[in-house]
Amino acid sequence: MLGTYKIPQVTYAFVSHVLNEKRQFPFFYRMVPKEEALYPGIVKLLQHFRWTLIGLLAPDTDNGTNYGDFLPLLLAINEFVEEGFNCSYLKHALTVKGWTRCRERDNLDLLPQDDWGGILSLDNHRIYNTVQAVAHALNAADSSRSRQRVAGSLNIQKLQPWQTLPPSRCVESCRPGFVKMVQEGKPLCCYDCIPCPEGTISSQEDAEHCAKCPENQHQNKDKDQCDPKVITFLTYEEDMGIVLSSFALFLSITTSFVLGIFITYKKTPIVKANNRDLSYILLFSLLLSFLSSFLFIGRPRKVTCLLQQSAFSIIFSLAVSSVLAKTITVVLAFLATKPGNKVRRWLGKCLANSIVISCSSVQVAICSIWLGIFPPFPDSDMKSQPGQIILQCNEGSAAMFYGALGYMGFLSAICFTVAFLARKLPGSFNEAKLITFSMLVFCSVWVSFVPTYLSTKGKYMVAVQVFSILASSAGLLGCLFLPKCYIILLRSDLNTKAYITTTKLEI
């Protein structure tokens, strides 16, 4: 019975795989379960916990060479469910009498315990125990992480088909924020870990490629997730906004104070000299220029964006036109003192007003075309600064912006040239020196403005323009009016017609 023809028919040892062939050995019975039933569980654990398969040791026998010939675990579970619940996963199950479609989740508690023995073979029973143990382990791990206890019985789920064995690795895994790059001439398991490019992330280990962040988000420091960008603009609350707004307010008050002095002492010779009305126009335009800087601070709005550049351009053109009219008046007044010269008829308020109106009208026309065809508008810049959404005013047309700025520079250059040529005029015409120095400061500020403006971004670009407005206007105010205020308030003995017409104005 145990050894017919001296060949054992019942064995507990691991024997050759050839003896499993039932056609050749129909009476052979092995008392131990097939070791193939353990392989799916091992592979599943390797894949789930992402363990690295270093290698495989197997004897140089038939059993060693046969590793992959086993029944897939998805299939074993399906057979168990179909037999236990009298259902089928096939699409045509409803056409067979007494059969129904298997559901994705069927509770084992519904199955009588007495039927288990007839359904489960030894191999399937071992598979079931393995799946149940893994399920309980995963459930406990999940409960530990989330600190929530999950109650309920084990549900049989339809598992995914078996895939290939976990790949071998000869390098460490690429952590999130990096992407794999295969090394040339080496196996696929050997690769380099390269950081994700700017603006992209990878949230998993051994990522094949990096994903690009949405436009309103940016990569974090570790490049493993996208964070919302910070909205930024030049505000009154930050240090830079506080300094600029305080400076603008101080200069506005100072200009108002100077204008009040000139109105109070309007009948004195120092105020009447060189066209008193031009001094009023210039002081008023300087006051407006200081106040216009507040249009650039704060959250950009539709109205402020429309007024920013146009108001700034027209006000400054008015100021420079007034200085140009003063300069031309100085030159004509000097020429009128020469015998036989007929330029005296050109002197007077009519000429000065014509210069101011005509020069300012050109800038008004430029800004009108600008606002009518290419009006500025609120805009958001999401690309200039990483991690920031910059709220700013879009000029609408860069050509119109630099055209208005260029015309203002053209007027300044003419004014500086005329004042420079007239700087050595004697006596009362010494104001040409003050005009020359004031225009030198004015032009220096705006010549340095262009490269600085183009090299900055975001709110710092706005801050540069505000600083240029304040600095150039302060240069005109200080150079042209502070010396006269000194004479009016502290040296009233010099504020006489005789002194002004006979000596140089030395402070």
Condensed to tens digits (0 to 9), the pLDDT of residues 444-471 reads: 898 888 888 888 888 888 999 999 999 9
Taking the alpha carbons at both ends of the chain, their separation in whole angstroms is 135
Q: What's the whole-model pTM score?
A: 0.63
pLDDT of residue 466: 94
pLDDT tens readout for residues 161-214: 444 445 555 667 788 999 888 777 776 667 888 899 888 999 888 888 899 988
What's CA 284's distance to the chain center, in Å?
Answer: 41
Beta strand pairing call for 230-232 and 388-394: parallel
Instruction: Classify burial at 310, counting beta carbons within 10 Å of its beta carbon; exposed 0-12, middle 13-18, buried 19 or more.
Output: buried
Instruction: Classify burial at 363, counting beta carbons within 10 Å of its beta carbon; exposed 0-12, middle 13-18, buried 19 or more.
Output: buried
Are 462 and 234 in contact by the 8 Å Cβ rule? The answer is yes
SS3 state at 188:
coil
pLDDT of residue 429: 45
Phi, psi (rounded to 5 degrees) for 193 = -105, 115
pLDDT of residue 468: 92
SS3 state at 176:
coil
CA distance 451 to 455: 6
CA distance 434 to 66: 103
- H or E segment to which residue 227 belongs: strand 226-228
Minimal CA–CA distance to 379: which of 458, 450, 310, 292? 458
CA distance 88 to 94: 9
Are 291 and 255 in contact by the 8 Å Cβ rule? The answer is no
What's CA 59's distance to the chain center, in Å?
Answer: 60
Phi, psi (rounded to 5 degrees) for 88 = -145, 145
pLDDT of residue 284: 94
Are 406 and 346 in contact by the 8 Å Cβ rule? The answer is no
Domain boundaries, the chain: 33-156, 178-228, 239-502
Minimal CA–CA distance to 84: which of 66, 61, 68, 100? 100
What is the architecture, at CATH level 2, of domain 239-502?
A: Up-down Bundle (1.20)
Phi-psi label, residue 98: left if phi above 0, alpha if psi -120 to 50, beta otherwise: left
At 214, list the tokens: 């949405």
CA distance 12 to 8: 10
pLDDT of residue 76: 53
At 169, list the tokens: 């690795």
CA distance 407 to 322: 15
CA distance 180 to 173: 9
CA distance 215 to 389: 9
Positions in the chain short of pLDDT 50? 1-3, 68-73, 93, 122, 147-165, 428-429, 503-507
Q: Find the radius of gyration of the CA atoms of the chain.
A: 45
Are 327 and 431 in contact by the 8 Å Cβ rule? The answer is no
Query: What is the helix, strand, coil percentage profile of the chain, to 5?
Result: 55, 10, 35
Minimal CA–CA distance to 111: which of 137, 143, 81? 81
What's CA 468's distance to the chain center, in Å?
Answer: 27
